[in-house]
């Protein structure tokens, strides 16, 4: 990802005087608009899934798209995830660019065979003659008081599979640009939408992918700012690494830590495969302390991978072992208990405190 990390910048880092087109919209609206534009720009794009067509999706992400683009390009499928993804394989082999939806994270399990054994491998198997330009949208993570199978974090499962890319936006701006970017990739991308953030509004600059401004060089491909991690808050003492819905929580924690004189940097990883190791090295190389936060269970979660990447690049200067604040090693609980499961502010602050207190030897 070496070409990707030079344009990382923060919200508000604005020197732009040019043609920004900033609009307030929710992540729902941003995703809907992105899909609408992808359909208009690429006649090979097809969108389908359970309730994606006439209803417009249970979260209204595909709202209005069937009426506008027709039943042959936006359509409903049976309740059969292996069929949804199997059909995606066939469509991709025939030259289409499918954007299937698995209605909820936990419904991806019946489709794992198609995802792992077909979608991820077809390009390898065919020596590059059958690429799989599939963007699989998965409303993901918890936080909406939903029943079982509706609050799971599958990033480590997907990230472990060679041939898949995995990305999760934390805000409407990134949702819009990352989805449009993913939909133009020749490789399969698992697009994990943080469903608890669907309704949160934020500024979206539809003209420029880099946050808060046009790139300094108008000729730069905006894709450069879309393939790596992003520093969403600068800090000196410690780096919080997060993705999806945990980014906004970490920003809250950073504000609270500032009250105690601790200056926390927040790194939104965005891409969970491949991980932007250079951004991790740069951030933790500066702060020398790191806490990784994710909703998924602890054991073999992506936090372990992040901790290893940090250790690899920053071992000599780290002040303390990388801490992980995560969900627990239990099935995702029902809605009443999810506040106890998802890393909350106090658990993250405890993690920060443990890192701050650590002394060698």
Partner 1 sequence: MAEISFPLPDLGEGLIEATVLDWLVEPGQQVERNQPIVELETTKSALELPSPQAGKVVRIHGAPGDTINVGEPLIVFEVPDDTAGIVGTVPKDEAPKRRVRLSAVLDED
Q: What is the set of active-site residues?
A: 150
Query: Which residues on adjacent β-strands are paired with residue 138?
Result: 192
d(CA 346, CA 352): 10
Secondary structure E strands in the chain: 22-26, 45-49, 74-76, 97-101, 135-140, 165-167, 189-194, 201-205, 230-233, 238-242, 264-268, 271-273, 290-297, 323-327
CB of 151 to partner 1, least distance (A): 8
- The Cα 297–Cα 335 span in angstroms is 16
Q: Which of 173, 211, 237, 282 binds partner 1 (CB under 8 A)?
A: 237
DSSP state of 118: I
Nearest distance from residue 131's CB to partner 1, in Å? 32
Please provide the DSSP assignment of 285-352 as one string: HHH--EEEEEEEESTT-HHHHHHHHHHHHHTTT-SSPPEEEEE-SSPPPPGGGHHHHS--HHHHHHHH
Q: How far is the CB of 277 from partner 1 (least distance, A)?
A: 26
Site for partner 1 in 172-201 (CB under 8 A): 195-196, 198-200
262 contacts partner 1 (rule: CB under 8 A): yes
Both structure tokens of 218: 């108008």
Q: How far is the CB of 106 from partner 1 (least distance, A)?
A: 11
User: How many residues bind partner 1, per CB under 8 A?
Assistant: 40
Rounded distance between C-alpha atoms, residue 218 and residue 282, angstroms? 26
Please name the residues in contact with 80: beta carbons below 8 A apart, sequence gap of 6 or more: 110
Smaller CB separation from partner 1, 227 or 287? 287
Nearer to partner 1, 124 or 199 (CB): 199
Closer by beta carbon to partner 1, 98 or else 143 = 143
Tokens, residue 317: 């200067």
> d(Cα 46, Cα 99) in Å, to the nearest integer?
6
Question: Which one of 147, 186, 274, 331 is in contact with partner 1 (CB under 8 A)?
Answer: 147
Closer residue to partner 1 (CB): 72 or 259:
259
Which of 6, 252, 300, 308 touches partner 1 (CB under 8 A)? 252
**What is the C-alpha radius of gyration for the chain, rounded to an integer number of angstroms?**
20
Q: Kindly identify the residues of this chain, within the stretch 287-306, that bind partner 1 according to CB under 8 A.
A: none
Q: How far is the CB of 49 from partner 1 (least distance, A)?
A: 13
Q: Does 320 engage in binding with partner 1 (CB under 8 A)?
A: no
Quote the least distance from Cβ 342 to partner 1, whole Å. Answer: 10
Q: How far apart are the first and last CA of the chain?
A: 36
Q: Is 221 in the site for partner 1 (CB under 8 A)?
A: no
Q: Interface mask (CB under 8 A) for partner 1, residues 324-343, using x and -?
A: -----------x--------
Does the footprint of partner 1 cover residue 20 (CB under 8 A)? no
Instruction: Give least dist CB 207 to partner 1, A.
Output: 23
Give the bridge partners for 267, in sequence order: 231, 241
146 binds partner 1 (CB under 8 A): yes
Binding pattern for the stretch 52-81 against partner 1, x by CB under 8 A and - elsewhere = --x--xxxx--x------------------
Among 112, 256, 281, 304, binds partner 1 (CB under 8 A): 256
Per-residue x/- marks for partner 1, 87-116, CB under 8 A?
-----------------x------------
- Please give the Cα distance from 230 to 227 (Å, whole number): 9
Judged by DSSP in three states, 140 sits in strand
Among the listed ranges 80-88, 141-149, 171-179, 269-277, the one in contact with partner 1 (CB under 8 A) is: 141-149
* Spatial distance between the Cα atoms of 120 and 132, rounded to a whole number of angstroms: 8
Instruction: Give the residues lining the site for partner 1 (CB under 8 A).
Output: 26, 28-29, 51, 54, 57-60, 63, 104, 143-147, 150, 195-196, 198-200, 237, 252-253, 255-257, 260-262, 335, 345-346, 349-350, 352-353, 356-357
């Amino acid at each position: 990802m070496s070409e990707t990390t030079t344009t990382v910048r923060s919200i508000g880092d604005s020197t732009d005087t040019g043609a920004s087109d900033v609009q307030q919209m929710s992540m729902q609206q941003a995703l809907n608009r992105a899909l609408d534009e992808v359909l208009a720009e690429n006649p090979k794009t097809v969108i389908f899934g359970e309730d994606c067509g006439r209803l417009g999706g249970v979260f209204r992400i595909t709202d209005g798209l069937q009426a506008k683009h027709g039943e042959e390009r936006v359509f409903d499928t049976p309740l059969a995830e292996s069929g949804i993804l199997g059909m995606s394989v066939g469509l991709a082999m025939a030259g289409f660019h499918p954007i299937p939806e698995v209605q909820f994270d936990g419904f991806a399990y019946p489709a794992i065979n198609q995802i792992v054994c077909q979608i991820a491998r077809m390009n390898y198997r065919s020596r590059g003659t059958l690429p799989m330009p599939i963007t699989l949208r998965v409303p993901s993570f918890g936080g909406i008081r939903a029943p079982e199978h509706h609050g799971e974090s599958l990033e480590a499962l997907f990230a472990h599979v060679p041939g898949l890319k995995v990305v999760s936006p934390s805000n409407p701006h990134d949702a819009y640009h990352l989805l449009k970017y993913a939909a133009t990739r020749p490789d399969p991308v698992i697009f994990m939408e943080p469903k608890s953030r669907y309704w949160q509004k934020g500024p979206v600059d539809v003209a420029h992918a880099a946050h808060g401004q046009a790139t300094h060089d108008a000729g730069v491909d905006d894709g450069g700012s879309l393939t790596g991690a992003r520093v969403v808050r600068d800090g000196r003492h410690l780096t919080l690494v997060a993705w999806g819905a945990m980014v906004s929580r970490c920003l809250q924690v950073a504000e609270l830590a500032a009250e105690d004189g601790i200056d926390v940097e927040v790194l939104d990883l965005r891409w969970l495969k491949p991980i932007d190791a250079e951004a991790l090295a740069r951030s933790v190389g500066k702060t020398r302390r790191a806490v990784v936060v994710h909703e998924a269970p602890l054991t073999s979660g992506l936090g372990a991978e992040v901790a290893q990447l940090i250790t690899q690049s920053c071992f000599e200067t780290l002040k303390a072992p990388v801490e992980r604040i995560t969900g627990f090693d239990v099935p995702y609980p029902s809605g009443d208990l999810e506040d106890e499961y998802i890393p909350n502010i106090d658990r993250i602050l405890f993690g920060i405190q443990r890192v701050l207190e650590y002394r060698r030897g």
